[in-house]
Amino acid sequence: MAVYLTDIQGALHTRLSGQLPFTDFVTINNVGGYTSGATSMTVLPLPSTLEVGVVLTFLDAVGTGTFVITTEAAAGATTILGAIGFAGTSVADGATAQVSVARAPGLVLEDDDVQSKMEEMLNRVRVMAIVLRPISMIRVLEKTVVDFNWEVDCIENPAVNRPISGTYYTAEAVAESVFVLLDNYQIPNSTVTGTNSSRSSSIVRMGTEEPAGSLVRYKVSGFVRSKLNVNIN
């Protein structure tokens, strides 16, 4: 039933990628701050990678200015480089710059290497949704109408996904978005022969309240009702 999974994955990717980006903050960690022309800044450990071209706008009671990243800085780095130099008056120690980082929730089919995706997720700020294989196929009417069950597992590591400040999406929020999208979702006719519509049936939290550092998981379940144009044996 890979054809159904592929279409469901495509719909989820479009929906989840349309969510607002997460917001991080870059904080100066240098007594005396910085003045115009500075090409290097010491900061608190970065919450996420800053790619080349990202513009940081610092604003505090002392002054304001911009700093363009010209060398990629990995998450956790404490130094940022900008060959163009700090443009502005000056900024004090502790000044912050807000930066929007487009980190759409990860999305993967069960047929992919789920383990490596899980390990990758543990080190990145995002929620991951796994489209699981249908657990069963049920014939509803004689030879022409069948239900193919589907499951979507939404997984989150709160330790890295929930910053002290800024916007983020929880596994629960992503699961609710998945449920709404796939309920009454009409799979394009060009995907398979016949009429195929999806229904969402439940959202279940996997496990009880987990200890700090544990993953949070929500499973969304439903089915695709397929009215085939040809009989099946």
Query: pLDDT by residue (tens digit) across 21-34?
Result: 556 789 999 998 99
Let me know: does 4 contact 187? Beta carbons within 8 Å.
yes
H-only helix segments in 18-57: none
DSSP letter assigned to residue 20: P
Written as six digits, the tokens of 144 are 């022409």
pTM value > 0.85: no
Q: Where do the structural domains in the chain lie, given as residue ranges?
A: 2-20+103-227, 23-101
User: What gap in Å lies between CA 233 and CA 227, rounded to an integer?
Assistant: 14
pLDDT at 151: 86
* Per-residue pLDDT at 75: 82
Q: Would you state the pLDDT for residue 78?
A: 94
The token pair that represents 152 in the structure block: 């979507």
pLDDT in tens, 160-186: 777 666 667 788 888 888 898 888 887
Please give the CATH architecture assigned to the domain spanning 2-20+103-227. Answer: 2-Layer Sandwich (3.30)
Low-confidence ranges of the chain (pLDDT < 50): 191, 231-233
DSSP secondary structure code for residue 60 in this structure: -
Please state, in angstroms and rounded to a whole number, the distance separating the CA atoms of residues 9 and 109: 7
- The residues, ordered by sequence, that sit 6+ positions from 142 with a Cβ below 8 Å of its Cβ are none
For 101-105, the CB contacts below 8 A with 24+ separation are 101/21, 101/22, 101/23, 101/24, 101/48, 101/125, 102/21, 103/21, 103/22, 103/48, 104/13, 104/16, 104/17, 104/19, 105/16, 105/19, 105/129, 105/154, 105/169, 105/174
